[in-house]
């Protein structure tokens, strides 16, 4: 949990913890399942803080795959309506987009100064 909140702390947008629940019609539950997935969106500003061999920056788009699987399963459950199964679904969604303040601090620490700044 701390790693999610640590990444989200630098973002302009707060993290969201989403809990969905499918319960069978009639309420007769024979089995309970849980599906958990992480959804991280990345890079709306064009910065790249991952450099060098093996950084795999082009694969960052897959960081939202766990959350996408949770929501895809929710849609399938709503359509199939399996009897006797209760499914709890959890997804933590957050973005690694830097807030303006964090971006300016990063520039300051990398360059030692801020030449011009308008907020």
So where are the chain's domains? 2-111
Would you state the structure tokens that stand for residue 38, as one six-digit string? 């992480």
**For residues 78 and 56, what is the distance between their CA atoms, to the nearest angstrom?**
36
pLDDT higher than threshold 60 for residue 26: yes
DSSP string, 63-92: GGHHHHHHHHHHHHHHHH--TTEEEEEEEE
Rounded to two decimals, the pTM is: 0.66
Looking at residue 44, what is its pLDDT?
Answer: 53
Sorting pLDDT into bands at 50, 70 and 90, what band is 29?
very high
Is the pLDDT higher at 64 or at 30?
Answer: 30
């Amino acid at each position: 949990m701390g790693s999610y909140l640590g990444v989200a702390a630098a973002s302009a947008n707060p993290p969201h913890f989403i809990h969905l629940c499918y319960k069978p019609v009639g309420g007769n539950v024979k089995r309970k399942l849980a599906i958990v997935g992480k959804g991280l969106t990345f890079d709306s500003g064009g910065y790249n803080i991952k450099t060098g061999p093996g950084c795999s920056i082009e694969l960052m788009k897959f960081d939202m795959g766990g959350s996408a699987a949770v929501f895809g399963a929710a849609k399938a459950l709503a359509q199939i309506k399996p009897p006797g199964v209760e499914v709890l679904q959890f997804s933590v969604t957050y973005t690694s987009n830097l807030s303006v303040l964090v971006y300016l601090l990063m520039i300051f620490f990398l360059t030692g100064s801020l030449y011009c700044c308008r907020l």
